[in-house]
Amino acid sequence: MRIITTIWYREFLNYIRDRARIVSSLVMSFTMLFVFTFALGNFDTSALGVKSIQYLLPGIIATTTFMTSISNALSVVEDKSDGFMKEFLVSPASRTSIAIGKILGSATSALIQGSIILAASPLFGMKYDLFMILGLIGGMIAISLSISSIGLFIASFVKSTMGFQMIVQMLMMPMMFLSGAYVPVSLLPDFLRVIVYINPVTYAVSAFRHLALDTTNISEQVLEKMGLILRIGNFQIKPLLSISIILVIGTIFLLLAVRSFKNVSINKVALKRGMH
């Protein structure tokens, strides 16, 4: 347990020290919010009783959490390059504990980033009750843990920071834009639906919108059209099931990440600089 706490704390310190990264992530999130609010100017959200910026905000919370979670796995690659990872791997600590510590550290910073957007959203007219806030925080925890596990799984195979960044960029953009965060899933072409429904961010966006917006007296047909409820064939996916799907995906990748981490060869990890 101590090694998990130590690694988690180290990841947390690295996060709060990197102010440029924190600010740039938030700037990007708010930029996307304003750009797509303008782009969706003609998209009618009145059926939900909200403005387009309020419709977009829950999706921005989800994608901010996602971006931070997957990007944080870069620290694993950096640790392998700098030699810190070798010190961990040759220590008596189990690799499972190391992997879990990394995932928890990544998820914590992602939760903070998402919570900053959540805290700022009342400035744009969002109104929350305690149930909504707790639900959104629970959803952020689920998606941050799941995506952090995916990030660690990818990072365990990558040797260079450049290679990891290229892979993340290849994954991040499609996963964000095909999640329904910016354009409702119902408006996306049918041939993209397979990608949409295997994307864990899709379920986070749908669940977050359902939790954040008042759906009282709104028909399920409208909720489906606006992406607050997903439908695969004749099967409806509502918020609780969406969060469950995210957790299942996260559990699968957690197991894969731990397994791949156990298989990392010490000989393929750099020594800490200055050590020979």
Q: How many residues does the chain have?
A: 276
The 10s digit of each residue's pLDDT in 78-132 is 887 776 666 766 766 787 888 899 999 999 999 999 999 999 999 988 988 899 9
Q: Domain coordinates of the chain in residue numbers?
A: 2-177+250-265
Tell me the CA distances in angstroms from 124 to 50, 80, 208, 213, one per residue in order.
Answer: 11, 42, 16, 13
pLDDT higher for 21 or 82?
21
The 10s digit of each residue's pLDDT in 180-203 is 998 888 888 888 888 899 999 999
CA separation for the pair 55, 166 (Å, rounded): 31
Give helix then strand counts, H and E, for the chain.
12, 2
The 10s digit of each residue's pLDDT in 34-92 is 888 887 766 778 888 888 889 999 999 999 999 999 988 888 888 877 766 667 667 66
DSSP assignment of 129-162, as one string? -HHHHHHHHHHHHHHHHHHHHHHHHHHTT---HH
Classified as helix, coil or strand, 71 is helix
The 10s digit of each residue's pLDDT in 212-227 is 998 888 898 899 888 8
Q: Which residues contact 122 (CB under 8 A, 6 or more apart)?
A: 128
Answer whether 62's CB lies under 8 Å from 205's CB.
Answer: yes
The 10s digit of each residue's pLDDT in 235-271 is 899 999 999 999 999 999 999 988 887 776 555 555 4
pTM of the full structure? 0.88
**CA geometry: angle at 173 spanning 143 and 115, to 5°?**
35
122-128: which pairs have CB atoms within 8 A and are 24 or more residues apart? 124/53, 124/54, 124/57, 125/50, 125/51, 125/53, 125/54, 126/54, 126/57, 126/212, 127/214, 128/212
